[in-house]
Structure 1
Amino acid sequence: MSNDRRSFIKNSALGGLALGGLFNLSFEDRVAETTRAVSRASAPSDLKITDMRYAVVQNVGRTAIIRIDTNQGIYGLGEVRDGADERYALLLKSRILGQNPCNVEMIFKMIRQFGGASRQAGGVCGVEMALWDLCGKAYNVPAWQLLGGRYRDKIRLYADTPEASSPEEQRRLIRYRLEQQGYTWLKMDLGIEEIKDIPGTLVNWEYWGPKLSQWQGGYMSYAETEHPFTQIQITDQGFEELSKIVENVRSMVGYQIPLSTDHYGHFDLNNGIRLGRALEKYRLAWLEDIISWELTDQWKTITDALETPTLTGEDIYLLKNFKPLIDTHAVDIIHPDLVTSGGLLETKHIGDYAEEHGIAMAMHQAGTPVSFMANVHCAAATQNFLALEHHSIDVPWWESLVRTTDGRALITKGFANVPLSAPGLGIELNDEEVKKHLTEKDKSYFAPTPEWNDLRSHDRIFS
């Protein structure tokens, strides 16, 4: 027996636990016992979920932050995806009360049936996020450590390129992005809405009405019509005008900075291919969400036709729904949004699966600093990660919604700082600041939610 092993047995016995007894314990209690010398805020094996509460802040319209409380006074923070309803999370409360929050994977498998594509997954992902925050606090380790360790100490961010009223003003703003804020990756919107007022650029645009929007409209509106079914086409002049927009930005940032594009509008794969070919010479980092993510075969056609990398994924829930895109190499880069894709662990699984198939992962993020930090931990723990979106760079109060528990800066020169020792997500809410930015329609602040305590349905999905 080595000296190390003798020492381990001796210390176990001195600690009041025989070695044989150690291996008779459950996994949870074994981890608790072997880490009991670690300074932590609770006895993890005795933790129980006692409550779930929420507050909705004015982030990208509205974003709900949830708090899961326990019987030991520690709590975890999570977030429902931007623009989604907090009730996606609240309906899960009755299903997790009394559970040990450190059983993250088990609880996730209990509730994942209640998630769906895009914002319908917000509740499941917000709960999973809060559980990792709780578990990290219980064991006094960062969330990335619970995911298997970290590959990096800082996380590269990509930032939207601001629009401006003139080329001179845009040049000033881009210089500020690069020189003062320190961002090393930019993304710009390149939608057909930007050329709609130029005669001769679009076909069939007027049919849908003069005030088209990708985001708002009734069920049979342009906003709710999938890309192949609008029959909007872009003319040669239209492609020239869109190319001018990219050329203007590329001339400002040069070729040292990756430049990605997004939000083109609703048109079919043929126009997507033509647009991609028109932009090839600008060496874009990726073309994002040209068509809807479900159209795997069409994505494969687009990707095979273009040299510029293609990317999708922000509305995909769970690894199983990423697999068709990854298995067929239908896109060059996957792009999960952690508050849709399944939370921290599922997103890491997605990244790992893509890595095995030679596909990189960028990460979409438009939330508060709560989900931002969940993404930071996941990105730190995933090898094939490229860059994480920061959507609220120009919101002056965004960073002040939280304070870091280890005193680090949240972001430094275009990179997020990974908490190297702070437990859980490594942040706490700045209560007074959050209260200043609650949504006008709901000023409650983590008020009791007893109406969600009772389980009223039998949820088994098989006979």
Structure 2
Amino acid sequence: MRIIGLETVQLEDFGNLVWVRVHTDEGLIGLGETFRNPEAVCAYIHETCAPRLIGEDPRARTRLAQALRFDVGNRFQGFPTRSIEIRGNSAVDIALWDLCGKIFDQSITTMLGGTVHESFRLYNTCANSNYNNKVRTGYDSQIYSRKTQAPQEITRHEDLLMQVYEPARLARELLDEGITAMKIWPFDVPARESGGRWITAEQMKEGLWVLEQIRDEVGDAMDILMEYHGLWTLPPALEIARATEEFGIFWQEDAVKLDNFDDLQRYAEVSRTRIAGSENLGTLPWYREMFARGTIDVANFDVAWTGGLTEAQRTSHMALAHDRTIAPHDCTGPVTLLANLQLMAAMPNALIAETVRSHLEGFYKEVMTDVPRVENGRIFPTSGPGLGAALNSDVMSRPDLRRRISGRACD
């Protein structure tokens, strides 16, 4: 079997996502995904990845992953992540795993060693239906502040608005659905205003108000995961950590810039809460440094940003060797979630699955042949070969479809 073509698939409605399909001469197709800077990623895949992969045996996953990282002129050293090249490589790597599952008629979980977990507790990242799937200029995520008047009506699934204006309602709504963990970021606005250099007493109270509302409404029935997006310098990050601890925080995620190793170590020494990191800088060499320093308790790497499933498998094993857990990041696209669940099912140290209910119940269903089942706050991996799902036929006939093929397609 040989690779005959690489294809990129984009939809204008969800333009921040890039899907990659690897085609073979025996008619099988593997599906991968990445996101952000989509035009540059597509150019890299066709300019660099396709010439290296076409004609190769797709079953040689490890060799091909090494070739993309080191043999095509990149020669990455240190802690590379989120570059155009690494994103493109990640999408291709996920597609090769999916393809191999179809070749051998096995799930990715089986190829990783078999099922350890049948399902996982999930948490809801409190974003909204447009979060991360739209191309944006300037600051690349949506952000809201209570300094701006709330909309007259906040509809179900608009969790990004609810976490700012109606956090008690949000917590109750989630709990009524069986979801017992939620991730919020009530301190991002002051971080943006000060460049992360200070936080005022008023801003601290504003952020803590969200936590007070949640605890007053649902008590300790809801675990609260705090996200900071690496926006803070160390002194205010420590102030926030001390102030939030009384609310029983489940974890503190990316509180400081993740390449400030000494600051992160100091933060971990002072904080009494579990530390999660990092979707932003979560490659194997970075975790080697972080685990050695004792700074990270939960590895929440993003498979579509940090090297695909090949890098994720290695990182998971390193975490296991250090008696640490994994909770891969997905606040982006459906393929990333499918890959996460296949990986977690085979890993003894899988902790909790990240989901966005507006995505899972919204555009994921619009573009995929299947999505993971959710029951009583738990999520189940899809079954079937490879990822267990593919882009549905409607995607390939949509008017906003953009396809580019290097080599040949087999469908």
State the TM bucket, normalised to the shorter chain.
0.7 to 0.9
Query: What is the TM-score of this pair, normalised by structure 1?
Result: 0.72
Aligned pairs for 1:7-406 (under 5 A) are 47-57=1-11, 62-84=16-38, 85-90=41-46, 91-113=48-70, 114=74, 116-120=80-84, 121-161=86-126, 162-164=159-161, 169-180=166-177, 182-193=178-189, 205=194, 230=195, 232-263=197-228, 266-316=231-281, 318-391=283-356, 393-394=358-359, 396-404=362-370
Structure 2: gaps spanning 5 or more residues: 127-158
Query: Which structure has the bigger radius of gyration?
Result: 1
Cα distance change, pair 79–265 in 1 and its aligned pair in 2 (3 A): closer
* Equivalent residues of 1:402, 1:430 under 8 A apart: yes
User: What's the CA shift for 1:370?
Assistant: 1.6
State the partner residue of 2:402.
Answer: 444
Provide the secondary structure at the position in 2 that maps to 1:399.
helix
Shift of 1:449: 2.9
Q: 3-state SS of the aligned residue for 2:327?
A: strand
Most deviating of 395-404 and 142-151:
395-404
- Cα deviation per residue 1:189-244 (whole Å; 9 max; x = unaligned)? 12241698xxxxx7xx3xxxxxxxxxxxxxxxxxxxxxxxx473112333222212
Residue 424 of structure 1: aligned partner: 386
Cα deviation 1:398-456 (Å, max 9, x = unaligned): 2231113xxx8543444332245x11111121121465484xxxx323x43359xxxxx
TM-score, normalization: structure 2? 0.81
> How far has the Cα of 1:313 moved from its partner?
1.4
What letter corresponds to residue 189 of structure 1 in structure 2? W
Any runs of at least 4 consecutive aligned residues in structure 1 with deviations exceeding 6 A, and if so which?
165-168
SS at match of 1:429: coil
Taking the aligned partners of 2:379 and 2:289, their CA distance within structure 1 comes to 31
Q: Please identify, of 123-132 and 59-68, the stretch whose mean Cα deviation from structure 2 is larger.
A: 59-68
The one-letter amino acid of 1:86's match is: C
* Alignment partners' CA distance in 1, 2:237 and 2:250: 16
- The structure showing larger relative contact order (alpha-carbon pairs under 8 Å, at least 6 residues apart) is 2
In the alignment, the residues of structure 1 paired with residue 297 and residue 89 of structure 2 have an alpha-carbon distance, to the nearest angstrom, of 28
Which one is further off, 233-242 or 114-123? 114-123
| One-letter amino acid matched to 1:75 | I
Alpha carbons 2:163, 2:210 under 8 Å: kept = no
Deviation at 1:163, TM superposition (A): 4.2
Amino acid aligned to 1:87:
A
1:128 is paired with a residue whose SS is helix
Whether the aligned pair in 2 keeps the contact of 1:195 and 1:241 (CA below 8 Å) is: no
**Equivalent residue letter for 2:55:** G
Q: CA deviation at 1:133?
A: 0.7
Aligned length: 364
Could you say what secondary structure the match of 1:79 adopts? strand
Bigger mean CA deviation after superposition, 57-66 or 274-283: 57-66
Over 3 Å counting, the alpha-carbon distance change for 1:393 and 1:157 in structure 2 is: farther
- Rate the CA distance shift 1:193–1:411 in 2: closer, same or farther, 3 A: same
Classify 1:119/1:291 alpha carbon distance in 2 versus 1 (closer, same or farther; 3 Å).
same
Listed as ranges, the gaps of 5+ residues in structure 1 are 1-46, 197-201, 206-229, 452-463
Deviation track 1:309-359 (CA, whole Å, cap 9, x = no partner) reads 222111225312211001111122221111122211321221221122122
Distance across 1 between alignment mates of 2:214 and 2:44? 39
Structure 2 Cα separation of the partners of residues 367 and 190 of structure 1: 20
